[in-house]
Amino acid sequence: MSEDHVLALAAYLGECEQRLDVTRESLAGIQVASRDPFTEALSHLPAQSLAPLVLGVEKLANEARSLGDALSHYAHNSAEQERARVRAWEVPRDRVLALLAVTLARVDPVAPFDQWGVSEAAQAVVGTPGPHLVEVTAVAAAEGGPLPRATNIAERVGRIPAGETPIRIERYVTDSGETEIDVYLAGTQEWGVGATVEPFDMESNLALVAGVSAASMVAVEAAMGKAGVKPGDRVSFVGHSQGGLLAARLAESGRYATSSLLTVGAPLGTVAPSGNYPALAISHRDDLVPELGGASKPTRITHVETHSGANAFDLAGAHAREAYVDTAARVDASPARENFPHWESAGEGNSQLFSAKRVMN
Amino acid sequence: MPSGRVAMSAAGIEQALVEARALRELAAGINLHSTGSAWRSPARDRCDVRLDDLERQAQVIARKLELWAENEGAASLRVEHL
């Protein structure tokens, strides 16, 4: 809950009050010896009473108690407002998204509508898809030849591929001798309704939100297999949009020793990554795609939200990978950078790009 | 020649220094906490101002106690050597 910070502080102030009471009693118990006039005159150090300080500590204790009470009151009020906001906005938004999905796909609800969320709606639309047949092909290595490992956020977002080759896998031996694999995943390539030859399509988006089998996930796992990535390998996942959702699901799968997760513009609402590894999610407030994941579940990953800088109503601009590269550069330059994931540097590694095509029945 | 009249007992000075350290630890603890960034409101801003003031006042009283202990320690030494 968001009020945890404030309540922890209020509890600490309660401890402060108790400790200050101990301090006040302790200071009040110190006997300040009186000096005889001869000693006083010679020492130039007149005896000072502790009474003003005892009074000061008593005031501090009172203020700690009063402030703790005010913070508790504030936290409870704010939490109530937050819950009201969720009731008024988040839940109806899920219902509307569910209604849209059901209407578009012309399917019958299988449960009372007021119990539906985004995940249930997405599942109703895609049904139980799969098994998916996907052809994955390794194509020429990344542009510009072998590159050193990307160690800042902007560089990593910039390496997310686009277009014909939505999967990029890099393998490095870091300066400390660890083998690290970086998997970069593109966003949705085909926004039409229904399955297409492109596995990174809208159907895969819905399937991932619903938590069922997705062709894009099959493609990524096939590419990782072709690149020699084995269960238990140390893998850092980076993804934009649908690629971010894929990255989060793979990071959480337990099949790999996930060493980090970085997503931009990803609809993570139904995933709730545990954050048992360095993780950062960046989203633009004016980007609608992250909202399509539905109401966010509690998660321990770091989430940076900011405005894209795109013109009003430029929805594509707000979601574009290029816009997120610019935002990532701002995050790199921010004073808070130390709190975000870091990646160990490595010299030139092996980099591969993969294309993927769905085999249509 | 020692006079036998000590301005302050060593135990009292030590006790004052212990309490000064406790006050500094409390101030540092306040500084480690945060009201978070989830909600912004005038009420939270007012609490932040009061927190800063509480932390600063704890540091001020700790410093005054340390000065008092220094003062009394020095006086004790002089008295001892009168």
Q: Which residues of A touch B43 (CB under 8 A)?
A: 70, 74, 77
Q: Do A63 and B50 touch (CB under 8 A)?
A: yes
pTM score, two decimals?
0.56
Q: What is the pLDDT of residues A7-34, one digit of tens each?
A: 788 889 999 999 999 999 999 998 776 6
ipTM: 0.83
A246-270 mean pLDDT: 90
pLDDT of residue A98: 59
Q: What is the pLDDT of residues A74-91, one digit of tens each?
A: 877 776 776 666 556 555
Put simply, the answer to whether A39 touches B18 (Cβ < 8 Å) is no
* Mean pLDDT of chain A, nearest integer: 81
pLDDT at A300 over 50: yes
Please list the residues that pair with A350 across neighbouring strands.
Answer: A171
Looking at the predicted structure, is the pLDDT value of residue B1 above 50?
no
| CB-nearest partner of A71 from B47, B79, B82 | B47
Other beta carbons less than 10 A from residue B43's beta carbon: 15
Do B9 and A20 lie within an 8 Å CB cutoff? no
Which tokens go with A308? 């894209």
Q: Is A12 on the interface with B (CB under 8 A)?
A: yes
Biggest distance spanned by C-alpha atoms of chain B: 67
Sorting pLDDT into bands at 50, 70 and 90, what band is A1? Answer: very low
Q: Is the pLDDT of residue A143 over 80?
A: no
pLDDT value for A197: 83
Nearest to A53 among B7, B61, B75 (CB): B61
Q: Which residues contact A125 (CB under 8 A, 6 or more apart)?
A: A101, A102, A104, A105, A107, A206, A210
DSSP state of B48: H
Instruction: Let me know: does A39 contact B82? Beta carbons within 8 Å.
Output: yes
Bigger pLDDT: A274 or A193?
A274
Contact: A16, B65; criterion CB under 8 Å = no
pLDDT digits (tens, 9 = 90+) for A153-177: 999 999 999 878 999 999 999 888 8
Which of A7, A25, A27, A34 is best to mutate for the B interface (most B CBs within 10 A)?
A27
Q: How far is B49 from chain A (nearest CA, A)?
A: 11
User: For A37-49, what is the mean pLDDT?
Assistant: 61
Tally the C-alpha atoms within 13 A of residue A131's C-alpha that lie toward its C-beta.
1
- pLDDT tens readout for residues A98-138: 556 555 555 554 555 555 565 666 665 555 555 667 888 99
Residues of A in contact with B26 (CB under 8 A): 16, 19-20
d(CA A159, CA A351): 11
**How far, in Å, CA of A27 to CA of A89, rounded?**
54
Given the DSSP bridges, would you call strands A350-358 and A167-173 parallel, antiparallel or unpaired? antiparallel
